[in-house]
Each structure stands twice: as C-alpha cells, then as structure tokens.
C-alpha cells in the first residue's frame, strides 16, 4: 500500500552535501509490521519522516495508493519517543485533538466522542479519560499518544522509538498492547528501534539500514504472537542480526 522508491536522503553540512541514505526502496503491505534497525546516525528517523511526508527526500518518491505523499497525510500517523501531550487538555481531549485534521473536519461531536472512547478502550485506559498528563505515568502517557494517533483511523502508523523511554516491564506490556491495538485498527506499522529483542518481538519484517555498498539486509518473520524471543529459533535469528550489524558497521555495532 505504501511504496518508497529509490529514496536518497542528504543534508548540507559545512557547505557540502552529505548523503545519509541512497537508493532505498520499500513496499509496505496491508497490516504489515516493519521494524527498522541500524546504528545511530544511519538515517532511521530521517527515513521515517520521509515515509510520513513530514520531510522531502533529495531523490525518489513515496506513493500511497499510487498517489505521491508530499506532505503530512491523513492516512499516516506518527508516534514519537516523547508522547508530546498538551498539558492543559485531559487524556480524552488530547486524543480528540489528534482528530483535528482536514479529513475529520466534518465529523460530528458524537462521532468524535465515539472514536475517542473506542481508542481509550483499546489502549486499556478506561476510566482515565478525564486525567491530565501530569497525573499519568510514562506508560499511560504513551498509551494516550498511541490512542491519539489511532483514533483518526490512519492506514499506517509510523513509530519512532516510542517505547525506549519506558522501564523494562512497562515496555514489554506496551509491546503486546501495540500489537493488539494495531490489529484492532487493521493498520500497518513502520517502527524504528535500537532494541533487537523488541524488533524480534514485534516485526513481520526487520530491515537493517545500511548506508554503504553492501545494501540493506532484511529478515522475514512469520512466527505467531506472542513470541518467545528466548527460544533457540529467535536466539539464532538474533545472532544472525548482530553478526550482520558487526560485519556492516564494525565497532559502531
């Protein structure tokens, strides 16, 4: 449904153009969960912004249902590492605020209220709609951010390390919640993470971004959820990914 074709990302530094990523292509399928990994600075966040239409590539194009994506798109939502909730709005109002987008302008109040209730229910925050961000834990705030992104029913969710600020237990719970929530909304997802176990837990496909000539590596995972990442199968996959990272990036990995 989303196609990235021959993407090049470069930035100006000290008057010269520095290419971060070149000739990257990706076809994201319906309800597919793609996880992007790679060392710091390889261009993961930049790529996610480009896939979302938040940033223009220097070459190539993004197509969603065969239409070019050149600006933020109502069918694509973004979840950041920081929940970025508005402190003067309660959880329900923060979620409703996410629906304040061109495509939803004609929605009636009852429709918005129903979408907010469904989102709150799905992220398991029933009873917390009237709570303000200051009264929510980090995990709860990130659930509100997830609900805000999904209430407007995007087809694709872009997730930039959304769980990395959470403690280990909350993070594990959130991984399952993320899978359940995305399945409920029948969305696809592209997520950036540094955590290989998280990638193994969530992904249908893991892509290792590589900015040199060896090209990007990918692994297809067909195992059902929940997954036991301590099983022999996953330990072998994990070892293969780490080995590939070391070969591609040496000391950086």
Ligand X SMILES: Nc1ncnc2c1ncn2[C@@H]1O[C@H](COP(=O)(O)OP(=O)(O)OP(=O)(O)O)[C@@H](O)[C@H]1O
Interface residue list for ligand X (CB under 6 A): 11, 20, 38, 40-46
Q: How far is the CB of 2 from ligand X (least distance, A)?
A: 19
Q: Which of 38/98 has CB closer to ligand X?
A: 38
Long-range Cβ contact pairs of 180-184 (< 8 A, separation 24 or more): 180/122, 181/122, 181/123, 181/146, 181/150, 182/31, 182/33, 182/150, 182/157, 183/31, 184/122
Q: How far is the CB of 157 from ligand X (least distance, A)?
A: 17
Which residues 6+ apart lie within 8 Å of 98 measured at CB?
A: 77, 148, 149, 151, 152
Long-range Cβ contact pairs of 96-102 (< 8 A, separation 24 or more): 96/151, 97/148, 98/148, 98/149, 98/151, 98/152, 99/151, 99/152, 101/74, 101/152, 102/74
Q: Which of 153/216 has CB closer to ligand X?
A: 216
DSSP string for 83-114: ----TTS-HHHHHHHTT-SGGGTT--HHHHHH
Q: How far is the CB of 48 from ligand X (least distance, A)?
A: 8
Q: How far is the CB of 209 from ligand X (least distance, A)?
A: 7
Q: Which of 42/119 has CB closer to ligand X?
A: 42
Q: Which of 46/149 has CB closer to ligand X?
A: 46
Taking the C-alpha atoms of residue 15 and residue 245, their distance in angstroms, rounded to an integer, is 31
Q: How far is the CB of 245 from ligand X (least distance, A)?
A: 13
Task: Determine contact, residues 140/199, Cβ cutoff 8 Å.
Answer: no
Q: Which of 42/123 has CB closer to ligand X?
A: 42
Copy the structure tokens of residue 142.
């990130």
Q: How far is the CB of 19 from ligand X (least distance, A)?
A: 10
Q: Which of 20/125 has CB closer to ligand X?
A: 20
């Amino acid at each position: 449904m989303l196609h990235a074709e021959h993407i090049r990302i470069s930035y100006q530094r000290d008057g010269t153009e520095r290419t971060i990523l070149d000739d990257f292509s990706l076809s994201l399928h319906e309800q597919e969960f793609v996880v992007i990994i790679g060392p710091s600075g390889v261009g993961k966040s930049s790529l996610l912004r480009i896939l979302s239409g938040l940033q223009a590539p220097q070459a190539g194009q993004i197509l969603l249902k065969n239409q070019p994506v050149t600006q933020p798109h109502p069918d694509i939502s973004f979840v950041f590492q920081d929940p970025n909730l508005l402190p003067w709005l309660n959880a329900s109002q923060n979620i409703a605020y996410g629906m304040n987008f061109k495509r939803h302008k004609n929605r009636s109040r009852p429709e918005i209220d129903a979408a907010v209730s469904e989102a709150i229910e799905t992220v398991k925050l029933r009873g917390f709609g009237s709570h303000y961000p200051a009264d929510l834990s980090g995990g709860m705030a990130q659930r509100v951010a997830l609900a805000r992104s999904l209430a407007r029913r995007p087809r694709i969710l872009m997730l930039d390390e959304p769980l990395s600020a959470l403690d280990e237990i909350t993070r594990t719970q959130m991984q399952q919640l993320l899978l359940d929530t995305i399945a409920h909304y029948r969305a696809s997802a592209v997520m950036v993470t540094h955590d290989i176990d998280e990638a193994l837990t969530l992904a249908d496909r893991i892509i290792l971004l590589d900015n040199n000539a060896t090209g990007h590596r990918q692994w297809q995972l067909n195992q059902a959820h929940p997954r036991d990442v301590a099983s022999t199968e996953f330990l072998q996959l994990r070892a293969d990914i780490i080995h590939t990272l070391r070969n591609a990036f040496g000391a950086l990995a």
